[in-house]
Amino acid sequence: MTAVTAGTTGTTGTPGVSDAAVAATQAAYEAVFDAAVAADERIEPRDWMPEAYRASLVRQIAQHAHSEIIGMQPEANWITRAPSLRRKAILIAKVQDEAGHGLYLYSAAETLGTSRDELLDKLHAGRQKYSSIFNYPTLTWADVGAIGWLVDGAAITNQVPLCRCSYGPYARAMVRVCKEESFHQRQGYEALLALSNGTEAQHAMAQDAVDRWWWPSLMMFGPPDDESTHTAQAMAWKIKRHTNDELRQRFVDIAVPQAEALGLTLPDPDLRWNEERGHYDFGPIDWTEFWDVLKGNGPCNDQRLSTRRQAHEDGAWVREAAAAYAEKHTGKHGEAQA
Amino acid sequence: MPTAAALALGDDALVLSHRLGEWAGSAPVLEEEVALANIALDLLGQARVLLSLAGDEDELAYLREERSFRNTQLVEQPNGDFAHTIARQLYFSTYQRLLYGQLATGDGPFAGLAAKAVKEIAYHQDHAEHWTLRLGDGTPESHERMQRACDALWRYTGELFQPVEGLDLDHAAMESAWLDSVTAVLGKATLTVPTGPRTGAWAAGAGRQGLHTESFGRMLAEMQHLHRSHPGATW
């Protein structure tokens, strides 16, 4: 690692130093940072980094962490109704892993100088986003399988390249997350396969779930490249390695043969193999719906956020108790309050 | 195979696991999402082994009606607030650790399962004890809530020590060890050991005989609905 270590703040404005000197130092730092990124070196928490790089990472990692936490809700919705004990165990393990992924990601974000509490406050206030996909409801058991196959599949397609992201803590979190995520994706696929090969009613349930989750899954890759405000800069910084449309295409190419193996159809009349491109062509995405959901008008936006806020508010007295207990028993303040 | 005992212990684990699963997405801190799900999974794993000893795990879980379940009334109690959940877990894991501790030392049909389960339960009990201390000796509000929860669930703890057909255990010794352990933890947590009766005349050994509390039927309705809607399907 040759990037400049600049203490914990990494900002300009050191008192008593002339503006010109600051500017020269800044330029030198920037040159070292740019060279490190160009050489595919990892940027670490104590390295100097441009403020915009830091802010962009905080935004992306926080949104990623929030998605894990909000993403627990649509699946947890079926824990108490899972149709066999084996499926129930798999689902609980999955939701538990999502909480764990949230924890890794908040830790990664904290290395950038923010805190989990601060990020959660922003989530609760609606000032930071989470993945639009979790604003869709889980209406049947098959939705749990469809989420595993399609939603986790799309997430993995997005996240595998992030294992090579220029920011070290994020890249390392992604390695761990992707391992567990791939496992869940296979389990989701297997759950759908059992339904597809099951009774007529089960097969219909699986098809209906895929019909409802296919397009929202494609929307998980974000807006088309010509409308994506962050892509160019994120790629220059090697936070992102591929554009939204590239990843979306990759996902479609993987998913189509999987759907055939499942014996299920995808709800797109324009979907067909294009020999010339070596890719599947697919129909237009309803971007009006995408922006609408992103703005808060999806089927479950209010519900997801209010459930999360409620859990946080209901838990306040528990967190206060833990803090008060810790304070009493670490001797910081001797006097007992209870 | 002592089926009655396998059902009693399996139903305890199954029902408490279900209750803990209801917390998913609503825990007070993320670490507790992980911990409560973890405990739920351990218990579900125990339930699956035990129910499989008695028959088909899914038939037993999904196709029996309320009056055929053999779990204690303690484990079916609704989650309530976090203090209620912790008090229920403290009472139950202390009992379960003593139970499986005894079973693990014997050479009966449950020895293998018990040997594995005691390790899991040691963690459950540790988790419950630490939260009992934090809540009991935390803020005035948490103290009050924890005391209320301990008091409210006290009446369901006597049933844990009713003899179970097929389990050759020293129930009296278990009960006194349980009382000692719980008394010590509550004392350390600045809580008062509840003084009320530990069973009601109306409910002596009730859950083990298939007599449950009202919320249990609703819990089963939710748990079994999908499975029952598709008779004969595999999942």
Could you read off the pLDDT tens digit of each residue along chain B, which spans 235 residues? Answer: 579 999 999 999 999 999 999 999 999 999 999 999 999 999 999 999 999 999 999 999 999 999 999 999 999 999 999 999 999 999 999 999 999 999 999 888 899 999 999 999 999 999 999 999 999 999 999 999 999 999 999 999 999 999 898 888 999 999 999 999 999 999 999 999 999 998 876 665 689 999 999 999 999 999 999 999 999 999 9
The answer to whether A305 faces chain B, any CB pair under 8 Å, is: no
Query: How open is the CA angle A252-A255-A261, to the nearest 5 degrees?
Result: 150
Q: Over 90: is that where the pLDDT of A12 sits?
A: no
Question: Would you place residue A333 in the very low, low, confident or very high pLDDT band (cuts 50, 70, 90)?
Answer: low
Q: Over 90: is that where the pLDDT of A78 sits?
A: yes
Chain A residues in contact with B186 (beta carbon < 8 A): none
* Distance from C-alpha of A47 to C-alpha of A31, rounded to nearest angstrom: 13
Minimal-distance CA residue of chain B relative to A96: B34
The answer to whether B57 faces chain A, any CB pair under 8 Å, is: yes
Q: Higher model confidence: residue A1 or residue B92? A: B92
The C-alpha of A164 sits at a distance from chain B's nearest C-alpha, in angstroms, of 27
Strand partners, A272: A281
* Distance from C-alpha of A300 to C-alpha of A74, rounded to nearest angstrom: 9
The answer to whether B41 faces chain A, any CB pair under 8 Å, is: yes
The mean pLDDT of A271-291, rounded to a whole number, is 97
- Shortest CA distance to B156 belongs to which of B89, B106, B105, B219? B89
A44: number of Cβ within 10 Å = 15
Burial of residue B146 (number of CB atoms within 10 Å: 0-12, 13-18, 19+): buried
Burial A86-124 (b: 16+ CB within 10 A, else e): ebbbbbbbbbbbbbbbbbbbbebbbbbebebeebbebbb
Q: Higher model confidence: residue A91 or residue A16? A: A91
In degrees to the nearest 10, what's the CA dihedral of B49, B52, B53, B54? 130
A79 contacts B24? CB cut-off 8 A: yes
* Distance from C-alpha of B9 to C-alpha of B96, rounded to nearest angstrom: 9
Amino acid at B82: F
User: Which two three-digit tokens encode residue B132?
Assistant: 């009992």
Burial of residue A129 (number of CB atoms within 10 Å: 0-12, 13-18, 19+): middle
**Residue range A298-331, pLDDT digits in tens:** 999 999 999 999 999 999 999 999 999 999 998 6
Question: Would you place residue A230 in the very low, low, confident or very high pLDDT band (cuts 50, 70, 90)?
Answer: confident
B225 contacts A80? CB cut-off 8 A: no
B225: number of Cβ within 10 Å = 13
Chain A residues in contact with B234 (beta carbon < 8 A): 84, 194, 198
The answer to whether B30 faces chain A, any CB pair under 8 Å, is: yes
How many inter-chain contacts (A to B, CB under 8 Å) are there? 153
Chain A residues in contact with B34 (beta carbon < 8 A): 96, 99-100, 103
Chain B residues in contact with A199 (beta carbon < 8 A): 230, 232-233
Q: Residue B90 region, left (φ>0) first, then alpha (ψ -120 to 50), else beta?
A: alpha
Question: Would you place residue A237 in the very low, low, confident or very high pLDDT band (cuts 50, 70, 90)?
Answer: very high
* pLDDT at res. A100: 96
Q: Over 60: is that where the pLDDT of A232 sits?
A: yes
The answer to whether A222 faces chain B, any CB pair under 8 Å, is: no
- Note whether ipTM > 0.95 here: yes
**Residue range A87-141, pLDDT digits in tens:** 999 999 999 999 999 999 999 999 999 999 999 999 999 999 999 999 999 999 9
Burial B104-133 (b: 16+ CB within 10 A, else e): beeebebeebbeebbebbeebbebbbebbb
Question: Would you place residue A338 in the very low, low, confident or very high pLDDT band (cuts 50, 70, 90)?
Answer: very low
Chain A residues in contact with B138 (beta carbon < 8 A): 320-325, 338
Return residues 240-299 of A near B (CB < 8 Å): none
**Residue range A147-205, pLDDT digits in tens:** 999 999 999 999 999 999 999 999 999 999 999 999 999 999 999 999 999 999 999 99
